[in-house]
Structure 1
């Protein structure tokens, strides 16, 4: 069982992470590089002169972009280990795991790790005001854990008690409130911040769907080979 989990997670995580990295290079990195021009003072938002929304951005950097690909692959391998371990526990309860059902698992992973935290703490572009990093990380991980448990209770709970607890867990982090700065400030235009958040969430959704599909596929293949 352990070898099946590790093998499925490695293949699924690497494939999904590579695709996620390529999508980020195309859609997210230009927004980040643009925001860094404001953060470093090369561009000024609402200054005395009009600033182009399409500045010249640095081109591909083999070292930077190669490390981004590697980092993304490692992150998604970690996600895959969590996802496949959950699939293994479900398989022990006679739940069917394949590529098609894996898509549903991927969507659930996206909700837990991206969508739910972003409801109160959206992805932040460099240069915007933000609360303390440690406080945000504690809230983020707490929200991920509460959402993941809630989704499991919704999927596998047998009565309204389980579903009621799930509803409380889904709402609790947002009722408590995410940490936000006392004042809004920063040199980055809000248009860039919103574009970054939407693209980050969109790519996260696509990547998790693919991760679930790959995880389900490799799990089924390993099961058939056993």
Structure 2
């Protein structure tokens, strides 16, 4: 069982993380680098131009981008370890785990780690006002835990009461409210910030779908190998 768990997590996490890292380099990083130009004062808001007008932002830096890919692979491998552990528990309860059902697991993971906290604490570009990082981290982790419990109850609950509790868990962090800065200010145009948030969510969804699908596929394959 441990070998099955380890192989599934490493292969699925590394593969999904590599693809996610490439997507980030293609779509997210140019917007982030563009925002950093405004933060540093190299560009001013007046007469701002879109990222596509700065092709140099899409250039490949071997060290920086290589480290970014490695970090992304490690991060998504960590996510996959959690997902596969939950898959194994669900399989013991009679759930079918394969590449197709893994997509649903991936969507649930995206909601838990990206969409739920990002609904009130959106991905931020450099140069924007932000609340205390400690308060944001506490709220983020609380929201992730609450959303994870909610996803499990929605998937495996067998009564309206459990589904109602899931809705409460999803809504509670946002009713409490995410930490906010004392005032809103920043040198980055709002269009850049909006594009960054949209692409961060898009890449995150794609990555989690890949994680779920790969994890389900490798989990089923390794299980068939053990039983064969």
Query: Normalised by the shorter chain, which TM-score bucket?
Result: over 0.9
Within the alignment, does 1:166 sit opposite 2:166 as a pair? yes
**Aligned equivalents of 1:219, 1:135: Cα separation in 2:** 37
TM-score, length of structure 2 as denominator length: 0.95
Q: Which residue pairs with 2:101 in the alignment?
A: 101
Mean alpha-carbon deviation: is it higher for 172-181 or for 156-165? 156-165
Alpha-carbon contact 2:99-2:215 (below 8 Å) kept: yes
How many pairs were matched up? 223
Deviations 1:124-166 (A, max 9, x none): 0111111111111111111011001011011111112211211
C-alpha displacement at 1:55, in angstroms? 3.3
Mean alpha-carbon deviation: is it higher for 157-166 or for 139-148? 157-166
Match of 1:52 among 49, 52, 61: 49
Secondary structure at the aligned position of 1:38 is classed as helix
Alpha-carbon contact 2:153-2:163 (below 8 Å) kept: yes
Q: CA RMSD in A?
A: 1.0
Alpha-carbon contact 2:48-2:189 (below 8 Å) kept: no
Secondary structure at the aligned position of 1:124 is classed as coil
Alpha-carbon contact 2:16-2:211 (below 8 Å) kept: yes
**Aligned equivalents of 1:55, 1:84: Cα separation in 2:** 41
Q: Which residue pairs with 1:23 in the alignment?
A: 23
**Aligned equivalents of 2:144, 2:198: Cα separation in 1:** 19
* Aligned positions of 1:118-137 closer than 5 A: 118-137=118-137
**Aligned equivalents of 2:126, 2:64: Cα separation in 1:** 17
List runs of 5+ in structure 2 lacking aligned partners.
Answer: none
C-alpha displacement at 1:180, in angstroms? 1.1
**Aligned equivalents of 1:56, 1:4: Cα separation in 2:** 44
**Aligned equivalents of 2:222, 2:88: Cα separation in 1:** 12
**Aligned equivalents of 1:122, 1:60: Cα separation in 2:** 27
C-alpha displacement at 1:118, in angstroms? 1.0
Within the alignment, does 1:141 sit opposite 2:141 as a pair? yes
List runs of 5+ in structure 1 lacking aligned partners.
Answer: none
Alpha-carbon contact 1:17-1:73 (below 8 Å) kept: yes
Q: Which residue pairs with 2:150 in the alignment?
A: 150
**Aligned equivalents of 2:77, 2:63: Cα separation in 1:** 21
**Aligned equivalents of 2:55, 2:134: Cα separation in 1:** 35
